[in-house]
Structure 1
């Protein structure tokens, strides 16, 4: 397994691979290629196996002291191998090196594996908010 860390918008091929994997993992198309272009200080963490993208973790600057861990996913055939944990560790290391004091993320009860991983990795639940569709989003923060 190989991990790659990038700053800013990656190459078109990598963006396509991330979008394809996102669709595979979440069964949705969130127009990530367009949305990534508008995120300040975009951080991209990637995991490869045999030159195939098996995981990604995206984040960006929320403000001068807070890094926002935005989206991430791991191919189903690669889950349970510690890929998500390593991507998270890599992201937090880069955020701390960049001078951020804390990292924030949001999750939902339906993404229990990610919610539990966040809590095990030191996040605290700080609030719950309702989104536009009435679903509850759990806000978590971690001091770096």
Structure 2
């Protein structure tokens, strides 16, 4: 059983990685359906993936991160694998995600686990976004 409230743990970890937990909290409140895939160590959230359905067959893997103290231990890979197994069980056949060049380790993990780059675009801030998709067959 987690020692800290789960959402608080996700927001604290997110803030330590990305620095915008308040923004994330607001976005979470606006979403009706979210899937959280979590990793814990002694009741503390050390990794997370958050996503939501795009439609009945396509899922968007929105955000994720692993605590700096726990990186390079396979946690991000395990979270992704658990998320994809669950999605297949629920009937999804495709997962999409987006990343940026500065999150190179996530980009490489996505490519190594079967994602294809399907698009790129510049966001409102002028940063390049990389769109990736994977078939869940």
Q: TM-score normalized by structure 1? A: 0.87
Which residue in 2 is equivalent to 1:97? 89
User: Does the 8 Å contact 1:39/1:61 carry over to 2?
Assistant: no
Is 1:125 the counterpart of 2:93? The answer is no
Instruction: Kindly state the Cα deviation for residue 133 of structure 1 after the two structures are TM-superposed.
Output: 0.8
Which residue in 2 is equivalent to 1:46? 38
Structure 1 unaligned segments of length 5 or more: list them.
5-11
Q: Which piece of structure 1 moves more, 22-31 or 101-110?
A: 22-31
Alignment of 1:1-144 (within 5 A): 13-29=5-21, 31-144=23-136
Structure 2 unaligned segments of length 5 or more: list them.
none
Distance 1:89 1:72 in 2: 13
Instruction: Kindly state the Cα deviation for residue 97 of structure 1 after the two structures are TM-superposed.
Output: 1.1
Distance 1:42 1:122 in 2: 23
Structure 1 residues 143 and 107: CA distance shift in structure 2, 3 A: same
Distance 1:39 1:122 in 2: 28
Instruction: Kindly state the Cα deviation for residue 13 of structure 1 after the two structures are TM-superposed.
Output: 2.0
Instruction: Kindly state the Cα deviation for residue 96 of structure 1 after the two structures are TM-superposed.
Output: 1.1
User: Does the 8 Å contact 1:41/1:60 carry over to 2?
Assistant: yes
Structure 1 residues 58 and 139: CA distance shift in structure 2, 3 A: same
Q: TM-score normalized by structure 2? A: 0.92
Distance 2:25 2:91 in 1: 26
Distance 1:117 1:77 in 2: 18
Runs of 4+ off more than 3 Å: none
Instruction: Kindly state the Cα deviation for residue 107 of structure 1 after the two structures are TM-superposed.
Output: 0.4
Instruction: Kindly state the Cα deviation for residue 75 of structure 1 after the two structures are TM-superposed.
Output: 0.4
